[in-house]
Structure formats: structure tokens, C-alpha cells
């Protein structure tokens, strides 16, 4: 299929439309779930989730912690909205286009950024919650298999999107040359 040609498969369009709706729902759910989890957890639960013995969890730490906890899912949600834009293009019959490739690349960039923020959030939360205790600073890093899988998947999507973008650009150049040749031929006749 040439770059930018419409998809004629009804099943591809239906799946793309469903995935677009799923992206929208998940983009709303991720930050809400993270915020509710942080705000409803008591100090002992937060300490345990961060691998800490004790934490100081006053209003300041609760508020700052909320901002730190919300950053990765908020960035991920933005990425999901870009993925939704790509799915909407697919559902509209547009594949291998520049706009679809850019939407996929923006999605993968957002997911990579969200993973980086998650990696940074863990020690920042640990420091913020242990410094005020007076019992010494505790901090470390946390890398999960989910984070590694997201990094690999986002990296792969970025590469695929970049290849799609290069293909779309090459297709645009060929179409431009064809128009120039057609104009020249029309003038010649």
C-alpha cells in the first residue's frame, strides 16, 4: 500500500476506532487512579510502597507528593491522546501518512518521558518523605519489569513511526516530482 492511501478494511477501521476510545478512557483514568491512590493511602502504606521504615506525611508532603506522583501518568495520558489521534487517522482510512506517523512518534516520546519521570519520582519521594523525620535520609532507585517493557515498546514504536515518517516524506517527494513532470508534459503538448 502506498503512503497515505486509504485503508479499505472495515475491521481495521473498527479496531482503530475502538482503540481510540480505549486511549481516551485510559488517558482519563491513569492520573485519576494515581491521585486517588496517593491521597487515600496512609503513611504506613506509602512508606511500605517506597521501601521506607517511616515517613513524614504532613499536608506539605501530601501536596508535593501528589504533584510528583501525578507527573508520570499525566505525561503518559498526553501520549495516549496522541495515540488516539493516530488511531483516529487509521479509523478514517489514513495510514502511513505524515500526520499518523507524527502522532505515533509523539505517543512514544511521551511514554519514554513518563518512564523517565517514574524513575526520578521514586527517589525524590523517598527524600521528601524521610528528610523531615529526623531519622536519617533514605533513598534508592526502583526499576520494574513494567517500566522496562514500556521503555522497549515505546522505543520500538518510535522507530516504527520514524520509518513511517520517512516513507511518507519519500511519497510526498515522488508525488511532487510526478506533478512537475505532468506540468512539463502538459506544456510540451
pLDDT in tens, 93-132: 888 889 999 999 999 999 999 999 999 999 999 999 988 8
Average pLDDT, the chain: 90
Closest CA to 164 of 105, 122, 79, 115: 105
Tens digits of per-residue pLDDT, 51-72?
888 788 899 999 999 999 999 9
Query: Is residue 39 included in any domain, yes or no?
Result: yes
Tens digits of per-residue pLDDT, 143-187?
889 999 999 999 999 999 999 999 988 888 888 888 888 888 788
Query: Is residue 77 included in any domain, yes or no?
Result: yes
Examine the pLDDT at 4 and tell me if it is beyond 60.
no
The answer to whether 34 and 70 have CB atoms below 8 angstroms apart is: yes
Cα separation, 80 vs 86, whole angstroms: 10
Query: Is residue 25 included in any domain, yes or no?
Result: yes
Query: Is residue 4 included in any domain, yes or no?
Result: no
Percent above pLDDT 70 for the chain: 95
Quote the pTM value.
0.84
Query: Is residue 1 included in any domain, yes or no?
Result: no
Query: Is residue 61 included in any domain, yes or no?
Result: yes
Mean pLDDT of 61-85: 97
Q: What confidence category does residue 77 fall into, taking pLDDT thresholds of 50, 70 and 90?
A: very high
Q: How many structural domains comprise the chain?
A: 1
Q: Which domain holds residue 24?
A: 10-188
Cα separation, 80 vs 84, whole angstroms: 6
Amino acid at each position: 500500500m502506498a503512503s497515505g492511501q486509504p485503508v479499505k478494511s472495515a475491521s481495521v477501521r473498527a479496531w482503530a476506532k475502538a482503540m481510540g476510545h480505549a486511549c481516551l478512557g485510559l488517558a482519563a483514568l491513569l492520573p485519576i487512579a494515581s491521585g486517588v491512590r496517593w491521597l487515600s493511602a496512609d503513611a504506613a502504606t506509602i512508606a511500605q510502597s517506597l521501601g521506607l521504615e517511616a515517613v513524614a506525611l504532613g499536608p506539605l508532603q501530601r501536596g508535593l507528593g501528589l504533584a510528583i506522583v501525578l507527573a508520570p501518568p499525566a505525561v503518559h495520558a498526553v501520549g495516549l491522546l496522541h495515540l488516539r489521534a493516530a488511531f483516529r487517522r487509521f479509523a478514517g482510512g489514513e495510514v502511513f501518512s505524515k500526520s499518523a506517523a507524527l502522532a505515533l512518534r509523539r505517543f512514544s516520546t511521551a511514554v519514554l518521558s513518563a518512564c523517565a519521570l517514574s524513575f526520578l519520582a521514586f527517589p525524590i519521594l523517598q527524600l521528601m518523605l524521610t528528610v523531615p523525620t529526623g531519622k536519617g535520609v533514605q533513598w534508592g532507585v526502583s526499576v520494574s519489569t513494567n517500566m522496562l517493557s514500556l521503555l522497549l515498546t515505546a522505543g520500538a514504536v518510535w522507530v516504527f513511526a520514524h520509518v513511517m515518517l520517512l516513507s511518507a516524506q519519500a511519497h510526498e517527494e515522488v508525488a511532487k516530482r510526478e506533478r512537475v513532470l505532468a506540468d512539463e508534459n502538459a506544456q510540451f503538448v
